[in-house]
Amino acid sequence: LTGTSREQRAFQYVLAHAIPGDPHHILQTFDQWCYHCEHLSCVGPDKGRIVERVLLERAPLRVLELGTYCGYGTVLLAQGLPPGARLYTIEGDPRHAAVAEKVIRLAGFSEQTVELIVGPSEEVIPCLREKHGLVNANLVFMDHWKRSYLRDLRLLESHQLLAEGATILADNVLFPGAPHFLQYAKTCGKYHCRVHRASLEY
């Protein structure tokens, strides 16, 4: 009825209430909106703590995010990067990408730190090295279409885009679920798997 999407309404709220250049406060403001106004499928604070812990443990210099959505996960990842690190984030929906771009820049992250790439992941991944300069990723955060998880993991493998000892962090593998991805990760012999128990966002 308003002529604007949920994502745009959430951004307007963040714009009005969050402190520019303060990533933590921007995430908190998103959380307030999602708890009290409208639900968005952002990572949220509960699962966000798992992401923060992995970032702290791994200190990755090259991070790839599949599924930018509104930029919540991107800001969460970017604020935990070690100095000199770079984050590449891919979003297939141009409308979501337009909101995410504003959120990322509002949080204070430049294009040198966070590069937002708009396009289907299956088309972008093969071009990451030549077109965007990503030699390989130390950490991959998957939070896009669950049915694309396995396909995109295999694309990353076939294009040698995973650094030795890379960490793949995949959201919602149990619900709504990515059973083929989970089976492959557990049985292919390339990965050590761990399932983090968490509640659904908000």
pLDDT tens string 51-75? 999 999 999 999 999 999 999 999 9
What value, to the nearest 5°, has the Cα angle with vertex 140 and ends 93 and 77?
A: 80
Judge whether 143 lies within some domain. Answer: yes
Judge whether 35 lies within some domain. Answer: yes
Judge whether 197 lies within some domain. Answer: no
Judge whether 85 lies within some domain. Answer: yes
| pLDDT greater than 90 at residue 2 | no
CB atoms under 10 Å from CB of 186, counted, come to 12
Token couple for 71: 């930029």
Residue (of 64, 68, 134) closest to 104 by Cα position: 68
Catalytic residues: 143, 146, 171-172, 201
| pLDDT greater than 70 at residue 1 | no
Q: Residue 115 has what pLDDT?
A: 98
Instruction: Quick: pLDDT tens for 147-182.
Output: 999 999 999 999 999 999 999 999 999 999 999 999
The pLDDT confidence band at residue 93, using thresholds 50, 70 and 90, is: very high
**Overall average pLDDT of the 23-38 stretch:** 97
Q: Residue type at 202?
A: Y
Instruction: Quick: pLDDT tens for 105-148.
Output: 999 999 999 999 999 999 999 999 999 999 999 999 999 999 99
What value, to the nearest 5°, has the Cα angle with vertex 150 and ends 184 and 175?
A: 90
**Overall average pLDDT of the 21-39 stretch:** 97
Q: Which domain holds residue 123?
A: 6-188
Judge whether 12 lies within some domain. Answer: yes
CATH number at residue 107: 3.40.50.150
The pLDDT confidence band at residue 188, using thresholds 50, 70 and 90, is: very high
Judge whether 174 lies within some domain. Answer: yes
Total of domains in the chain:
1
CB atoms under 10 Å from CB of 194, counted, come to 5
